[in-house]
Amino acid sequence: MLTLNKEIFKHSQQLLGILVSNKLISTFSNQFKGCLFIREKFKAIQLYDSDTSKKLILLNDKFKNEQEIPDNLKEFIKNNKIEIIEKQVELNYDNYSYEQVLKKVLPENMTIPFSYEKIGHIAHLNLRDEQLPYKFIIGQVILDKNFQIRTVINKVGKIDTVFRTFKNELLAGENNLLTEIKENECIFKFNFEEVYWNSRLQIEHWNLIDSFTKDDIVCDMFAGVGPFALPAVKLKKCKVYANDLNPNSIKYMRENAKLNKISSDKLIISNLDAREFVRSLLLVSDKDSQPVPITQVIMNLPSTSIEFLDVFREIFLNADRAPPISKPPTIHCYTFTKGRENSDLVSDTRKNVEDIIGCRIPDDFKCTEVRDVSAHKIMMRISFVMPTNIKSSDNPLKRTVDQVSESEVSTDESKRLKLDNNNNNDSK
């Protein structure tokens, strides 16, 4: 496997320099910034010998001789009687940027990996096949050129389908995946290989939480280590019931609750399958307890969250029993939708939801694009008030199949409306 040879960057270079009096330095800097010789960890404006009244300014190496100096700088030099000299400078690996180093060491047509995820001290790469022979070089340069990075890893193999974790290979630095980061004013500590974490979702986490109020009771069905749950308690003062199937997520969520001084009566943590978790909150069999009147539901398992909507159908659209709480929650469900040509992402997402819950969702639902995962895979969030069969006057689904003309609906939609109609009629 190829490794980085830093020696190839050591060399000396002849530059043009000008000796400028101290009082003209700022004028030069303002007017001729582009004429400076710029390198990492290198001072282009230096002391010169023992003469403290002047500084040596090293000029851009594109000026090979005095004739190549731009006219306006030539005039500045002439008007101020500035002396031009030649200076030999010693350069090495430290004087080159990440991009400059990789441009020199990677094959000419290879794409330089610029986008990597930063998780505390960890840089996480997902290299392309053609970049793999150079992986240790790329890792070493990322480590050397970013002072906050202490560990560089590359994703290997496929993502685990249940806990959404994946194996990594160490490319450079410490073999330590226990990391700590700050997001939305909360500290999160976890081992990156044991739990799911995605730093690219920080803004989405906040966008959703920010729509909550202190009166909200939140049910986070796939909570991970708590990037929705903790800030919802800490910043929006909500009460949150947070759940994850991965015992490691639970271990770190509990630790993170302590780290952020969040009390156990504001954040109630469970380690159940998501459907069981929802039933445990809403379908209480014990006569001394009451169902939890949840107002917001977060479902962030985009690959399969939509399938878990069946538990809300079972609870809120059940022909055999009334829903356990009178005000149905708003559900925020994340999903991947195929961004095909001519496809309407919003209608596709709505249809996928309605196919699982078996009836229409209220027309005031909101559906937004969260991020492009790849050219044909878009992460969406759809938010809607859960339809219910409580009583027709409160029911957002007032339209029944009889009220909708045949020309208005497709056969599929007609079937869904019929279902909806039946559900409404079943409620007693």
How far is it, in rounded angstroms, from Cα 166 to Cα 125?
A: 12
Residue pair 142/149 in contact by the 8 Å Cβ criterion: yes
194 forms part of the interface with ligand SAM (CB under 6 A): no
331 forms part of the interface with ligand SAM (CB under 6 A): no
Give the shortest CB-303-to-ligand SAM separation in angstroms.
Answer: 8
The residue among 17 and 227 lying less far from ligand SAM, judged by its C-beta, is 227
Say whether 244 counts as a known binding-site residue.
yes
Q: Of the ranges 30-38, 65-73, 161-169, 419-427, which one interacts with ligand SAM (CB under 6 A)?
A: 161-169
Say whether 243 counts as a known binding-site residue.
no
Query: Which residue of 96, 196, 365, 384 would you call a contact of ligand SAM, by CB under 6 A?
Result: 196
Task: Quote the distance between the C-alpha of residue 317 and its chain's center.
Answer: 35
330 forms part of the interface with ligand SAM (CB under 6 A): no
Number of residues that bind ligand SAM (CB under 6 A): 21
Q: Of the ranges 52-60, 120-128, 193-201, 361-369, which one interacts with ligand SAM (CB under 6 A)?
A: 193-201
CA angle 46, 42, 109 (to 5 degrees): 145
Q: Which residues does 28 contact at the CB level (< 8 Å), separation at least 6?
A: 20, 57, 76
Q: Of the ranges 93-101, 119-127, 192-200, 312-320, which one interacts with ligand SAM (CB under 6 A)?
A: 192-200
The residue among 68 and 210 lying less far from ligand SAM, judged by its C-beta, is 210
227 forms part of the interface with ligand SAM (CB under 6 A): yes
Give the x/- contact pattern for ligand SAM in 283-312, rule: CB under 6 A.
-----------------xx-----------
Grouping H, G, I as helix, E, B as strand and the rest as coil, residue 26 is helix
Say whether 205 counts as a known binding-site residue.
yes
Give the x/- contact pattern for ligand SAM in 251-290, rule: CB under 6 A.
----------------------xx----------------
The residue among 248 and 349 lying less far from ligand SAM, judged by its C-beta, is 248
Give the shortest CB-26-to-ligand SAM separation in angstroms.
Answer: 49
In angstroms, what CA-CA distances link 313 with 7, 87, 272, 361, 397? 66, 78, 19, 12, 14
Helix axes 98-105, 135-145, angle to 10 degrees: 160
224 forms part of the interface with ligand SAM (CB under 6 A): yes
In angstroms, what CA-CA distances link 364 with 166, 328, 382, 424? 38, 15, 11, 19
197-216 binders of ligand SAM (CB under 6 A): 197-198, 201
Residue whose C-alpha is closest to residue 65's, from 79, 47, 85:
85
How far is it, in rounded angstroms, from Cα 15 to Cα 17?
A: 6
Beta strands in 6-69 (DSSP E): 11-21, 45-48, 51-58
Residue pair 76/35 in contact by the 8 Å Cβ criterion: no
How far is it, in rounded angstroms, from Cα 76 to Cα 37?
A: 18
Q: Token pair for residue 276?
A: 């069981």
The residue among 270 and 349 lying less far from ligand SAM, judged by its C-beta, is 270
Query: Which residue of 55, 135, 145, 164 would you call a contact of ligand SAM, by CB under 6 A?
Result: 164
Strand order in the sheet with 45-48: 45-48, 51-58, 11-21, 83-91
9 forms part of the interface with ligand SAM (CB under 6 A): no
Q: Of the ranges 32-40, 112-120, 125-133, 191-199, which one interacts with ligand SAM (CB under 6 A)?
A: 191-199
Element holding 373 (H helix, E strand): strand 366-374
How many Cβ atoms from other residues are within 10 Å of residue 34's Cβ?
10
Q: Of the ranges 237-245, 344-352, 353-361, 372-380, which one interacts with ligand SAM (CB under 6 A)?
A: 237-245
In angstroms, what CA-CA distances link 126 with 22, 117, 165, 174, 176? 49, 9, 14, 19, 18
How far is it, in rounded angstroms, from Cα 352 to Cα 384?
A: 13
Say whether 248 counts as a known binding-site residue.
no
**Which residues contact ligand SAM (rule: CB under 6 A)?**
162-164, 196-198, 201, 222-224, 227-228, 243-246, 249, 273-274, 300-301
Known binding-site positions: 205, 244-245, 273-274, 300
Q: Please enumerate, by residue number, every residue annotated as part of a binding site for S-adenosyl-L-methionine.
A: 205, 244-245, 273-274, 300
